[in-house]
Each structure stands twice: as C-alpha cells, then as structure tokens.
C-alpha cells in the first residue's frame, strides 16, 4: 500500500508519472495535485483522486497529505529553464520556496520526497564531457540556482531531520504525451512534431551543441526505482546523474531523416536558449546511479525515434 501525492501532476512528467504510479500501486491512493487552470482531464481525471495543491501554499500540501494519508510526495512543480529566466522571481518561489514548503510538510508528517534536479544544475565551470557525479555546480540560470540549492536543502533535511529525500538529475525529456514548454531541450521534442506533420523544423539550438536527453519511459522508471531503492546502498541522495543518450541537433535531424526521408531542418538561433545550452554539460557520467540502485536506460536514439514517430502519427492521426 502506497499513498502518493504528485504536485504538478498535469505537467510534462506528472501527466505520465501519475498514470504509471496508479498502475504500479493499484491499492494505493495516487493523488494528482494540480493548480487551477491546469485541471486533470480524461483518463488522468477519471482514474484516481485529484486535489488543488499549489506548491506555494503549504496548507494545501498538508491538507492533501492528511486527507489521503500520503507517505510519498513527488514534487514536480517547476518552471523550465527559459521560462524561468523570463520570470526569475516566480521561478524561485516555485522552485525553492515550493520545495521548502514540501520538505516542511514531509518533516512534520513523515513523508518521503522525490524532487527532480537537472543537467541545468551544472554551469560553465563544470567538466563538460562525462560530467562526474560530484563536481563543480555553479549554474548561471535561476533554474539551475534553484536546482542546486534544492539538492543541498533536500540533503540537509535527510541528514538533519531524517526525511527520506531522493532525486535524479534529469536530462532533456522527450515524450509524445504532454509537451514540455519553456525548456532549453524542448527542441528535441518539437522536431518530431514537425517531422510527422511534414513541416520544416526551425532549430533554435546550433549544430554542435550536445546535451543529454532521455525518453520518457526511462525517466518514469527512474522516478520509481530511485524511491524504491534499498537505502542502505545509497551513498548519494540529492541528486544522482542519470543518462541515456547525448546528441546535437544534426545527429537527431539525421536520425529522423532515416525514418522520414523528406524531412527538412533549418537553424533559427535563439540567443537565450543557446547561452543556456552552452553552459550545460555535453554528457553526464551516471555510474553512481548504476552502482547504487542499478539504474540502466532502455532507449537509445534509434529506439526512441521509432517509438516517437509511431506514437505521434497515431496521436495526430497522420498516416
Ligand atoms: N529540460 C529542462 C530545460 O530544458 C532541463 O532540465 O529547461
């Protein structure tokens, strides 16, 4: 029996993670926490309970935890990197203020907490290739600042108060279900939509810019496996490097062309996103996650591309 509150359940990760948790723990209460204006719809609304839980409102978090006897909180509320640069104050309020609210409720009510960190927690001074688990983290973005501070705050709550906090540093996440919005890695999702619609894709990121990416099924599995991991094996907690694939726009473009021969991509540079991407690593070393909780990705670029194209064509009803 597991009772879980997902804060941000209608977002890019939450939409799919909520459904996966409901399948994984059929006897538990898996509560979709959402903010007004982002209500759950369809199967997400029908398959389990949902509650208004604004992460900036600690009482709403506490009430949902009490009502459903929640033992685990997935804190997925965030503004992605480019949106956060446009609204830094709100990014801080949600990213760090919201995490503090969550951790305080977890401390008082004895909940485990999962909070994603990101490749965005690294900066220009970080070693770019095979970025180690424990290394320099001096990000330039407010998104990265909230992620690094969040990692530290989560480790502090584990050490000082015994709150079971755990986290992974996600790469760019690619999915055909819920769109991301406002991220630097979003191009690697948008490109597939253009390919299946037969449109030319205008890429905002320059050729030669490598970033780590991951297909959503692997990311969802990571969310669950890290929380299920044997705590006696965990040397790290907040947060684990995880990786699946690293590519630049040319590599994903050519891969899609293998499956969609007439597909065209041009470059339309976005200075903000490019500057952010340039400050992030090319590829992470995820050996600590592999050693401490047996992390292993299943999808590489080829497998992801085949699955994305097939599912997007079905979703958009394109032959
Ligand atoms: N996908 C995120 C972004 O691009 C990074 O974690 O902002």
Residue linked to tokens 């079905």:
314
Nearest ligand 1 atom to the CA of 185 is 4
Nearest ligand 1 atom to the CA of 171 is 6
CA-to-CA distance for 133 and 192, rounded, in angstroms?
Answer: 31
- What count of other Cβ atoms lies within 10 Å of the Cβ of residue 214? 24
pLDDT score recorded for residue 91: 98
* Pocket probe mutation, ligand 1, options 119, 174, 219, 274, max atoms within 8 Å of Cβ: 119
Residue nearest to atom 1 of ligand 1 (CA): 172
The pTM for the full model equals: 0.96
Residue nearest to atom 3 of ligand 1 (CA): 183
CA of 144 to the centre of ligand 1 (A): 9
Q: Name residues contacting ligand 1 (CB within 6 A).
A: 80-81, 118-120, 143, 170, 172, 183-185
Average pLDDT, 10 consecutive residues per value, the chain (319 residues): 93 97 96 97 97 98 98 97 96 98 98 98 97 98 98 98 98 93 94 97 98 98 98 97 98 98 96 96 98 98 98 94
pLDDT score recorded for residue 181: 82
**CATH class of the domain whose range is 4-170+216-241:** alpha beta
Residue nearest to atom 2 of ligand 1 (CA): 183
Nearest ligand 1 atom to the CA of 182 is 7
pLDDT score recorded for residue 319: 81
- What count of other Cβ atoms lies within 10 Å of the Cβ of residue 318? 11
Nearest ligand 1 atom to the CA of 173 is 1
CA of 196 to the centre of ligand 1 (A): 23
How far is CA 267 from each of CA 112, 191, 207, rounded to the nearest angstrom? Answer: 44, 12, 8
50 exposed, middle or buried (CB, 10 Å; 0-12, 13-18, 19+)? buried
Nearest ligand 1 atom to the CA of 170 is 6
Closest CA to 191 of 178, 176, 203, 180: 203
Indicate the pairing of strand 245-247 with strand 211-215. antiparallel
CA-to-CA distance for 78 and 110, rounded, in angstroms?
Answer: 23
CA of 175 to the centre of ligand 1 (A): 13
* Residues classed as catalytic: 143
CA of 181 to the centre of ligand 1 (A): 9
CA of 34 to the centre of ligand 1 (A): 20
CA of 183 to the centre of ligand 1 (A): 5
pLDDT score recorded for residue 1: 59
Residue nearest to atom 6 of ligand 1 (CA): 118
């Amino acid at each position: 029996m597991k009772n879980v509150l997902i804060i941000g359940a209608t977002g890019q990760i939450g939409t799919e993670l909520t459904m996966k948790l409901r399948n994984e723990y059929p006897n538990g209460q898996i509560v979709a926490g959402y903010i007004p204006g982002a209500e759950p719809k369809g199967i997400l609304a029908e398959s389990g309970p949902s509650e208004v839980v604004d992460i900036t409102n600690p009482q709403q978090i506490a009430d949902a935890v009490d009502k459903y006897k929640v033992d685990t909180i997935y804190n997925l509320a965030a503004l992605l990197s480019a949106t956060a640069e446009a609204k830094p104050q709100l990014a801080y309020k949600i990213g760090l203020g919201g995490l503090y609210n969550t951790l305080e409720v977890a401390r008082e009510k004895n909940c485990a907490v999962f909070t994603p960190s990101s490749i965005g927690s690294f900066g220009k001074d970080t070693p770019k290739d095979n970025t180690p688990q424990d290394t320099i983290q001096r990000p330039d973005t407010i998104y990265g600042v909230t992620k690094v501070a969040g990692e530290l705050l989560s480790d502090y709550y584990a050490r000082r108060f015994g709150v079971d906090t755990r986290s992974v540093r996600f790469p760019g996440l690619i999915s055909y279900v819920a769109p991301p919005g406002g991220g630097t890695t979003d191009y690697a999702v948008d490109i597939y939509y253009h390919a299946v619609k037969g449109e030319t894709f205008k890429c905002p990121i320059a050729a030669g810019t490598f970033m780590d990416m991951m297909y959503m099924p692997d990311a969802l599995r990571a969310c669950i496996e890290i929380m299920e991991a044997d705590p006696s094996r965990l040397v790290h907690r907040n947060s684990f490097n995880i990786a699946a694939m690293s590519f630049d726009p040319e590599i994903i473009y050519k891969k899609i062309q293998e499956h969609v021969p007439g597909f065209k991509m041009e470059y339309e540079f976005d200075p903000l996103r490019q500057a952010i991407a340039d400050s992030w690593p090319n590829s992470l070393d995820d050996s600590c996650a592999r050693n401490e909780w047996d992390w292993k990705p299943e999808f590489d670029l080829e497998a992801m591309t085949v699955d994305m194209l097939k599912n997007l064509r079905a979703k958009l009803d394109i032959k």
